[in-house]
Amino acid sequence: MELAISDDKLRIRLSLWEKMLSVHGSFEIRLDRITGATTEAPRTKWRDLKLPGTYMPWVIKAGSYLTGRGWEFCYMVRWRNFLTVELRDRYYRRIILSLTDNQEWSDRINESI
């Protein structure tokens, strides 16, 4: 997975493998649609509905999930190093990723918006 900020957009480029597991393509999000980014662990519930995607407890959660908060896209592995991007006026309310440099990206996104 590769992230980049340019032309007032956050670009999240998924690898072929990540696209297959999440059944989704890459993202391009205007910065004015982002309300913030955090590194806090996301709240998940057993009632979250996966449509479509891949889920193996404590190993991977990838794909689109309908939650009590609205639609969320997740690509989380081993439940650590979270980056949660909060969105407005978008289909997805949140994008939750696992990144080794999650704090750096949280700071970059928050500085850019």
The domain limits of the chain are 2-112
Q: Are 8 and 30 in contact (CB under 8 A)?
A: yes
Residue 34, SS3 per DSSP: strand
pLDDT for 19-49, tens place per residue? Answer: 999 999 999 999 999 999 999 988 877 677 8
DSSP 3-state assignment of 33? helix
Alpha-carbon distances of 26 from 18, 43, 48, 69, rounded to whole Å:
9, 23, 22, 22
Q: 59 — alpha (psi -120 to 50), left (phi > 0) or beta?
A: alpha
Question: What stretches in the chain show pLDDT beneath 70?
Answer: 46
